[in-house]
Amino acid sequence: PRVAVIVVAAGSGERLGAGGPKAFVGIDAHTILRHALVRVFSAPLAQVVIVAPAGHEGDALTDALEAAGDRRDLVSVVTGGKTRQGSVSNGLAAVWADVQIVLVHDAARALTPSAVFERVIDAIDRGSDGALPVLPVVDTIKRVADTEVLHAVDREELAAAQTPQGFRRDILDAAYRAADRDYTDDAALVGAAGHAVSVVTGDPLAFKITTPADLDRARSLVSAAPV
């Protein structure tokens, strides 16, 4: 199948607090976006759409062309929206007509190994409408109201969602057209449109760089992290 990946990189990175857009913060000599893209380009893809912060489209293109190597004709860059969902929507509008499967990936999950992309693509190839990588929840989770613990939630029923989340292209397009509010992620948006989304095994390296502590962790892992 023809697969496109939309890499959303248009957020401002408020919680990281680096003084500029998160995607262009360095992990080592290379940015968060460039690390994410090197791993994206190792997967079997037909198109990579990078959704960049307004005014940083050129910076995104520079990182993309470096990461792409001899696959630079796969690269498209578009400008992001106010919300992540808006950014994905802008990315979807740039997906080529012959693409059949679309994956949506957070640039902030910079160290996500390409094997995770392959698992998501495989699940859809085998007939799922959508697939997302998950990890088991390790902490004990409580339901609380105000200051009171109501009860523990059964961990067996819980999973932590990561990206890339992948979908049949026709289903993702229709679900975005039908979306009437902001959803927490693409799987929730597609689920709200009435489609079943299956799970595949995620990877601890697909953690999202959100806070300065996450960036420290990425910096300590990057030299040993697989592509």
Q: Tell me which residues touch Mg ion (CB under 5 A).
A: 11
Question: Six-digit token pair at 153?
Answer: 């939630």
* 57: Cα within 13 Å, side-chain hemisphere: 11
Instruction: Calculate Rg over the CA atoms of the chain.
Output: 17
Query: Is residue 77 a contact point for ligand CTP (CB under 6 A)?
Result: no
CB-based contact 9:62 (threshold 8 Å): no
Query: Is residue 184 a contact point for ligand CTP (CB under 6 A)?
Result: no
Q: Which stretch, 41-49, 71-79, 82-90, 131-139, contacts ligand CTP (CB under 6 A)?
A: 82-90
Query: Is residue 25 a contact point for ligand CTP (CB under 6 A)?
Result: no
Residue 158 CA to residue 153 CA, distance in Å, equals 8
- Report the partner that residue 67 touches, choosing among ligand CTP, Mg ion, none (CB closer than 5 to 8 A by kind): none
Helices and strands per DSSP (H, E), number in the chain: 7, 10
Residue 64 CA to residue 75 CA, distance in Å, equals 7
Judged by CB under 6 A, the residue of 108, 123, 193, 197 near ligand CTP is: 108
- Report the partner that residue 2 touches, choosing among ligand CTP, Mg ion, none (CB closer than 5 to 8 A by kind): none
- The site for ligand CTP (CB under 6 A) is made up of 8-15, 22-23, 51, 80-84, 87, 106-108, 208, 210
